[in-house]
Structures are given as C-alpha cells and as structure tokens.
Structure 1
Amino acid sequence: MRDDPAVVALVDRARSGDQDAWNDLVDRYAPLVWSVCRRFRLAGADADDVGQSVWLRLVEHLPRLREPAALPGWLATTTRRECLRLARAKQRKERIEQPLDTHMITGEHDAPAERDLIEAERNMLLRAAFGQLPEHCRRLLTLLMQDPPLSYAEASARLGTSIGSIGPTRARCLRRLRDCPAFAALADADT
C-alpha cells in the first residue's frame, strides 16, 4: 500500500483541489483513523473529534507532504498523536475538576502553628522518655547523637569503657528507651 500509485494519484489530485479525490482519500483511509481510535478505546464524540482533527491536519499538511505514498503512515501517526493529546487533555480536566479531599491531607500540610505545637509535644515526650533512662545510657546516647557523632573510640575514651562495649550498651539503652512509657506515648501521638 505504501508504494500504491493510486494513492500518489489521489494525493496529487486532492492537492490540486479535486473534491472527488479528497472524498476518495477520506473514504479509503477513514477505517485506518477509526481503528487507531478504537485501539485507544475512544468511541462516539471523542473518536469523531480525533477524526476531525486528523482530517483538518491533513488539509493543512497535504501541500507539504513530500512522499504521497507515505500517507497511510502519516495518518496513523497523526491519529495516535491526536488520541494522546485528547487523553492528556481529559486527564488534566479530571485533575482540575476533582474535589479536594480534606481527609487525604497529611501532617505536612498542617498550619504552621499546629506543626509547631505537634513538634513541641513530641520533644517534650522524648525528653521525658530520655530522662527516665539510667545516667550511663543518657551519657552514651548524648555522645552518639552529637553532630557529627563521636566515633566509638572517642565515646569509649570519654566514658572510660572499652570500645567493644559501646555497641551492645547502645543497643540496650535504645531498647530501654523504646520500653519507656513516655516513649510509648510518643509513638501513640504519631499515629
């Protein structure tokens, strides 16, 4: 079909203003345009809109069509592009028309005063949980939470303990922190 001399002749006649040639082109290639629309699951008014846009583009492009035998490929490509353009336009319209669901808004959209209040409450609960830890746990975790954190060697030198005990002691202290009732209240506040 790509090298069909009849297509070349129809395109040449349509270019020169022959209405019968134009009608023959539309009759011959309308099934191609509609089949592409069906692949995009367009029906009714949407398929008609795409078809009309494709034929309008052909009217505009026909004088510049370099290879008349390539018309079927040009029509298929143009129809696909018009289908995609229509799909994007519909998605934009749906997003714009979609009502705002206030239940979907998360804490990061809270008012600044509310965020500050929540952060202050979390800090208070964390300080309370941290205060319930034994002194050696508070000292170790404070050293390891510095910015930048101390190495285990530096922490062991400051605490007067062996390097090998820093990791296991840290794990036990964090477990104690998680088990504190105040920390449980902090976890409950986050949910």
Structure 2
Amino acid sequence: MDKSEIDVAAATTNLLTLYSEMETEENVKFYNSWAQDYEQLQKVGFKNFHGIDGSERMLKIAESKGLYQSLTHWMVTADNPLPIESGSYDLVTVVGGLAQQHLPWDILPEMLRVTKSGGCICFTLRAEESDHRCKLLASIQEFVNKGLWEKVVERYVDKWQKEMLPTGVAEEYVDGVVGVYRKK
C-alpha cells in the first residue's frame, strides 16, 4: 500500500468504533471540535483532507489548521454538482449540513458519486421531524433498496448539538442522528 493511501477497512472499523463507544458528552466534545480539528479522523487512519464548503469563513478556519491538502469554496446542490471526479474519496462527511436551512436533501446522489466503491458516507442530522428530514430519510432508504449503499451504523445521539436560534446559540441541546453508509 502506498504511504499516501489508507487501509480503508481498518479506518472504517476505527471510525465506527469511535461513533459506537462515545458517551453523550464525548460526542458533544467531538462535534464541537469537528470543524476546527480533524485529529480524531487522523487517529483512525484518514490522512488526506479536502474541504468543500459554501462558507468562506469556515474555509478560513479550516485553512488555519493546516490539515487540508485542498479547500474549495462551493455550494453543492442537485443543479450544481461538486467539481470532483467520480469515485475520488474513501470517506465523505457532512456534519451539520443536512438541515433545512443548509444543504438540500437531494445532494445525496452527489455524495454517493464522489465516494469510491466500498467507501463510506458519514452524515449527521437533527432527530426532530420535518419535511426536509422525511425527504432525506426516504432518499436514504431508496439508495438502500436500490443496492447503491448499505447501512453500516445509524446511531441516535442525545444532546447532539446546541440549538441554533436566529439570535444565536441556545444553552439547550437538540438530539441528532449519525449515519454511516458504505457504497457498494
């Protein structure tokens, strides 16, 4: 194996262990540090990080960490696909982005497209019911039914993130779900 490549099976096992063994407070700390520090993913074997975000500010924060090989300012939608070749990534993550006011639910085919066969797609979403979440879950299940990916783990997380309000961040936490799927 080339030094720049990773052992996908081992890294995926480590990633799943990380998600399955963390207590709620550990999850909170992990997600709070996600955008600013990818050391957790490095610890489980991932080495090459490419960041894509619609927010230039988030990209500046990411750049300041010195972890990324490339950063791209891009807002992905069904009509604006990623400027990435198909099958490029071992792991695609969307943390906190699959929300009604953020990324549309119909970007899942694009996430799947840029993931290598056997690679994983990891995402988080709020646990509360909404039209957006229902469409997202229906799309996820459609991919399973079509044999495009398989569920590896889906975990309900109490106190997943602090509630986001128009006036700022509240003290209360909302519950969430972490999903990891493997592309077939």
TM range, smaller chain: under 0.3
Higher helix proportion, which one?
Answer: 1
The normalised TM-score by structure 1 is 0.20
Question: Which protein shows a greater Rg?
Answer: 1
Query: Could you say which structure has the higher strand fraction?
Result: 2
For normalisation by structure 2, the TM-score amounts to 0.21
